[in-house]
Amino acid sequence: MLTGCRNIPVTSISLINRRLWTRKSFKSLPALCSVRSSLPSPTHSHFITTRQTLVPLHPPVNVFSTRGLCHSAHCTGLMELNEVLQVLEQLAPLSLAESWDNVGLLVEPSKSRPVRTILLTNDLTAAVMEEAEAASCDLIISYHPPLFRPIKRLVQKDWKQRLAIRAVEAGIAVFSPHTSWDSVKGGVNDWLVGGLGSGQVSVLSQALGGASHCHKLEFMVRSTEELNTVMEELKACDGGTTLQHSASRPDNSGIHVSITCSDSALTSSVQILLRHNTPSQSFSILKLEKPPLPGHGQGRLSVLDEPVTVATAIQKMKSHLGMSHLRLALGSGQTMESSLYTVAVCAGSGASVLNGVKADLYITGEMSHHEVLDAVAKGTSVILSDHSNSERGFLTVFRERLAVRLPDGVTVMVSKADRDPLEVV
């Protein structure tokens, strides 16, 4: 995966997470968050301030436990595709994926049929498709999305389009989780960093919750009549779909009003307030920021409970990844017997996430020549496994987590044909 880091100005955060689970869906009570940082006000007659506030959200739940969720009458039978997709969403909400990614259901058969066999693969190649057809698979879960860029036609000359056509003809659905698996707590990156043992683990690039409203406007009115008039105008311009408001009891200065609105409704809402005398002289605008989702995000940093030498780290990662060879770049001043106290990891192509992170060791699939040189010059050693080798081992872990949530009649397989295209010769 590739991604960049995000930074959020935070002065105070309060999060309350409560979770309610069912087999087909999950609900989370809102987290209550507030973050405000005062900015200089522009010189204007009606005094506008801009503040930043975190808003309520429904955060994804850490669902990577070993407890099954199947409680329906047909738990010993089969499941429909949409039911399997709901389980996958519970395991790793697609909202955690990066904005540039193409995740979710990519190929959907025209005729619905029960899901009997699921094949897990890191990449969907011709060899993996042959394996899926031979096993009469109903669903392929391909970690990397086989369809990524927009397609204007489906023809045989492009290898990825050929695979999509074969999936449609065989009635095989194709689903890709990609960076949602990277981001979710207990996902690919937590599995990868665990290869060196236990430690205090933190997220490098924090995932953020979603919010339906982007702005809060606070203002005052003189009377209930004026409040009703202003609110009717605001509702009319906003279509009555995104506007939310609350009003406190009046005091000597009037009635305090607070509304939240979407980004598209902000300009028209301000224009309405400016047409009314009291609101125009008292309103302020608050920017609602998306709150962080603890434990979720791209990349991980671990302060190891027990430091290891460079030589030991290599052996541990070979065992963890199931590889006989890895590539190593020793950091400036380090030797094979140097002790490593901190390790930063990012599955796949992790340079954009690892860049600037202070750690004794970087572990990722691939980095460019110059990115490795930069890390080494700063005293950080680098272990590279090639791209998909830093991800593929998680498929076996995920197979167990998925299987316990599905009926006994559904078989979950890990591809034997899937492999990294590069090998040491």
Range of the domain at 124: 79-178
Q: Are residues 232 and 119 both part of a single domain? A: no
Reduced to 3 states, what is the DSSP secondary structure of residue 378? coil
Q: Are residues 149 and 253 both part of a single domain? A: no
pLDDT, position 354: 98
The reply, when asked if residue 46 is annotated as ligand binding, is no
Q: Are residues 361 and 384 both part of a single domain? A: yes
Q: Are residues 149 and 196 both part of a single domain? A: no
94 assigned to some structural domain: yes
Token match 């056509």: residue? Answer: 165
Residue that is last in its domain, among 267, 287, 307: 287
CA distances from 404 to 27, 119, 398 (A): 21, 15, 10
3 state SS for 90-152: HHCCHHHCCCCCCCEEEECCCCCCCECEEEEECCCCHHHHHHHHHCCCCEEEECCCCCCCCCC
Q: In the chain, how many domains are there?
A: 3
Q: Are residues 88 and 168 both part of a single domain? A: yes
Reduced to 3 states, what is the DSSP secondary structure of residue 236? helix
pLDDT, position 263: 81
Provide the whole-model pTM. Answer: 0.75
What is the distance between the alpha carbons of residues 352 and 299, in angstroms, rounded to a whole number?
10
Q: Are residues 105 and 174 both part of a single domain? A: yes
Q: Are residues 258 and 320 both part of a single domain? A: no
Indicate the residue type of 11. T
Residues 6+ apart with CB under 8 A from 97: 103, 177, 178, 179, 180, 183
Q: Are residues 274 and 140 both part of a single domain? A: no
CA distances from 388 to 1, 102, 178 (A): 10, 17, 12
Q: What is the DSSP letter of 322?
A: T
pLDDT, position 18: 30
126 assigned to some structural domain: yes
Q: For residue 7, give the nearest of 356, 282, 332, 260 by alpha carbon.
A: 356
Q: Are residues 251 and 381 both part of a single domain? A: no
Q: Are residues 330 and 195 both part of a single domain? A: yes
pLDDT, position 244: 66
Q: Mean pLDDT for each consecutive 10-residue tract of the chain (425 residues)?
A: 41 32 33 31 34 41 46 62 97 96 96 95 98 98 96 92 96 98 98 98 92 81 90 77 65 82 86 90 88 95 98 98 97 98 98 97 98 98 98 98 96 98 92
51 assigned to some structural domain: no
The reply, when asked if residue 305 is annotated as ligand binding, is no
Q: Are residues 231 and 353 both part of a single domain? A: no
The reply, when asked if residue 74 is annotated as ligand binding, is no
